[in-house]
């Protein structure tokens, strides 16, 4: 089963084992408790745990995990990530993509179809999402991930076609 990170534990909250977490997207907030998730340094080393409670507070989400009963235990898991199986992620509307699906895709020019590079990462910037593309010559290019820059995403062929006007000055 492929595990997808949905949050990272940032800090202990209070004395009863609650953890303040930074959620990635909406999945954490949509879970019904108790919820089986995985916790670990990576998806490969994650172990199953149950979230007993999820609260959205003004400063972000706070969770209570089974077996984490005091502040010391909550501090001990700080920095670990929470994961779920890909099948538990919310369904997306047409034209929407999860960032992890874009990683490794080939990026090509809209005019020539020629290769530009490979998506190394997809990131959330303050103004838009963006693709971090590693070009064939080893340069990193950041391309906006929006309808103006991205002409087409072929999920089956794993190819993203980008409008040349968005990359001409970057190459």
Q: Is 51 in a helix, a strand, or coil?
A: strand
Considering the domain architecture, whether residues 73 and 144 belong to the same structural domain is answered as no
94, part of any domain: no
Helix and strand numbers (H, E) in the chain are: 3, 12
Q: In which domain, by residue range, is 107 found? A: 99-170
Last residue of a domain, one of 67, 88, 109: 88
Considering the domain architecture, whether residues 53 and 119 belong to the same structural domain is answered as no
- Of 123, 129, 115, the closest CA to residue 158 belongs to 115
Q: How many domains does the chain have?
A: 2
> Distance (Å, rounded) from C-alpha 153 to C-alpha 91?
17
User: CATH number, domain at 73?
Assistant: 2.40.30.60
Considering the domain architecture, whether residues 61 and 122 belong to the same structural domain is answered as no
Q: What is the pTM of this model?
A: 0.70
93, part of any domain: no
Q: What is the pLDDT tens value at each position of the chain, 171 positions in all?
A: 689 999 999 999 999 999 999 998 788 998 999 999 999 999 899 999 999 999 999 989 999 999 999 999 999 999 999 999 988 887 877 777 888 889 999 999 998 889 999 999 988 777 888 899 998 888 899 999 988 899 999 989 999 999 988 776 555
Preceding amide of 12 cis, omega within 30 = no
Considering the domain architecture, whether residues 109 and 152 belong to the same structural domain is answered as yes
Considering the domain architecture, whether residues 7 and 75 belong to the same structural domain is answered as yes
Question: What is the distance of C-alpha 111 from the center of its chain?
Answer: 31
């Amino acid at each position: 089963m492929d595990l997808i990170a949905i949050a990272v534990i940032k800090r202990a909250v209070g004395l009863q084992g609650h953890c303040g977490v930074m959620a990635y997207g909406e999945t954490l907030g949509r879970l019904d408790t108790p919820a089986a998730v995985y916790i670990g340094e990576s998806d490969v080393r994650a172990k199953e745990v149950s979230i007993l409670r999820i609260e959205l507070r003004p400063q972000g989400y706070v969770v209570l995990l089974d077996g984490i009963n005091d502040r010391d235990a909550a501090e001990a898991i700080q920095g670990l990530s929470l994961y779920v199986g890909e099948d538990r992620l919310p369904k997306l509307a047409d034209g929407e993509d999860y960032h992890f699906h874009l990683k490794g895709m080939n990026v090509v020019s809209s005019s020539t179809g020629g290769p530009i590079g490979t998506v190394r990462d997809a990131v959330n910037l303050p103004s838009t999402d963006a693709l971090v593309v590693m070009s064939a010559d080893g340069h990193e290019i950041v391309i906006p991930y929006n309808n103006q820059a991205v002409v087409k995403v072929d999920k089956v062929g794993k190819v993203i076609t980008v409008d040349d006007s968005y990359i001409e000055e970057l190459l």
